[in-house]
Structure 1
Amino acid sequence: MNENLKAALKMHELHHENFENDLNHWLKYELFSWNWWVLFAFALLPWIIWLKVIDRKRLLEIILIGTLAMIPTTFLDAIGIDLSFWIYPVQFSPVAPRAMAFDMSMVSVTYMLMYQFFNKWKSYIIALLIMSLLFAFIGEPVSKAMNLVYYIRWKYWYSLLYYIALGITIKIFVNKCKGTYIKE
């Protein structure tokens, strides 16, 4: 067995121990706590609203928007945790991404609904700025106050810039895809 494999197996063992510690902590302190129920609502309610109001004629492009919002947000959230920019003291599930309720529900559903209801660039940008300000300067501080997130090396305005950049990027991408598809 070479040194690389030995080191990889040791890392795997440590990772497994860490997971067991996380699972025990989750079962003892997080599951069914009031914070957990808030995350449960954050994970479920946006999708219930989405199901009631979604424009089924535009379902494919709207789902694409949600997916394009979800993937980088979830990925960057994991990087932020690994780099100790923030932690999530309570998580919805010990085996799902730590910020699942935010990244895969609140954020992605909000972008989908914005895309659906604000077709024109001007109205979309206004809605995007309002949403970004609300998420960054109200939603995140409230989440911090509720002990759902703890920022170690992160500022709210970084999030503001991210939400704006993501919203513009995904709309451009989907509009281009839609234009290409319609031309064919």
Structure 2
Amino acid sequence: MAELDIKYWLHDEFLTGSWWLLLVFLILPWIIWSIFLNRKQILETLLFGTFIIIITFLLDLIGITFRFWGYITQFLPIYPGALPFDFSMVPVTFMLLYQYFRTWRSFIVSLICMASAFSFIGEPFSIWAHLVIYIKWKYIYSFIYYIVIGIIVRACVEKLVAISKSQRLLQ
């Protein structure tokens, strides 16, 4: 079965226009991130991004498993096909928001803007570009997901940073 999947991927997906688009989606966000990264906050920002990657990847696996969506074009012939989204586009955008919008108010406003852009522009574009198909999923679910996950992860990271700082003060 795996051999058939690899043959199909090599013949019908690898190096297609959609595949090249996924490559851009994988590489370009990290280039942008490296340019705009505040190096004084690198550990905190990477912690935030790591949590986003883990949650996004796990929820993507759940979505595929329960047939909420599927990937038409895969970047690699492995499961799931959302590598550029789960490990690049989504976490890098979240990290930039986390880094540049330091107050809760500005962070939530920027989160709503990002959620709107991803959910109501980016996701329809991904469907149009034949990267993904939604089976039992709606854009509004993604909109809510982006906001809720951003708030929860920021709260967790801020709590961890506060604990770390208080431990340093005690030493």
TM-score range, shorter chain: over 0.9
Runs of 4+ in 1 over 2 A off after TM superposition: none
Q: 1:78 deviation in Å? A: 1.1
Q: Which has the larger radius of gyration?
A: 1
Alignment of 1:54-65 (within 5 A): 54-65=37-48
Q: Which residue, 140, 146, 156 being the options, matches 2:129?
A: 146
Q: 1:96 deviation in Å? A: 5.9
d(CA) in 2 for partners of 1:149 and 1:83?
A: 15
Cα deviation, 1:148-174, whole Å, max 9, x if unaligned, reads 100011111011111011000010001
What is the TM-score with the length of structure 2 in the denominator? Answer: 0.95
Unpaired runs of 5+ in structure 2?
Answer: none
d(CA) in 1 for partners of 2:79 and 2:32?
A: 22
1:156 corresponds to 2:139:
yes
Name the aligned partner's letter for residue 52 of structure 1.
Answer: I
Q: Which residue, 62, 70, 81 being the options, matches 1:79?
A: 62
1:51 corresponding residue in structure 2? 34
Name the aligned partner's letter for residue 59 of structure 2.
Answer: L
1:173 corresponding residue in structure 2? 156
Superposed CA RMSD in Å reads 0.9
d(CA) in 2 for partners of 1:27 and 1:20?
A: 11
Count of aligned positions: 167
d(CA) in 1 for partners of 2:80 and 2:133?
A: 16
Q: Which residue, 73, 82, 88 being the options, matches 1:90?
A: 73
1:42 corresponding residue in structure 2? 25
Cα deviation, 1:97-130, whole Å, max 9, x if unaligned, reads 4100001000000010000000000000000000
d(CA) in 2 for partners of 1:94 and 1:51?
A: 28
What is the TM-score with the length of structure 1 in the denominator? Answer: 0.88
Name the aligned partner's letter for residue 47 of structure 1.
Answer: W
d(CA) in 2 for partners of 1:133 and 1:145?
A: 17
**Structure 1 vs Structure 2: percent identity of aligned residues?**
46
Q: Which residue, 135, 150, 153 being the options, matches 2:118?
A: 135
Unpaired runs of 5+ in structure 1?
Answer: 1-16
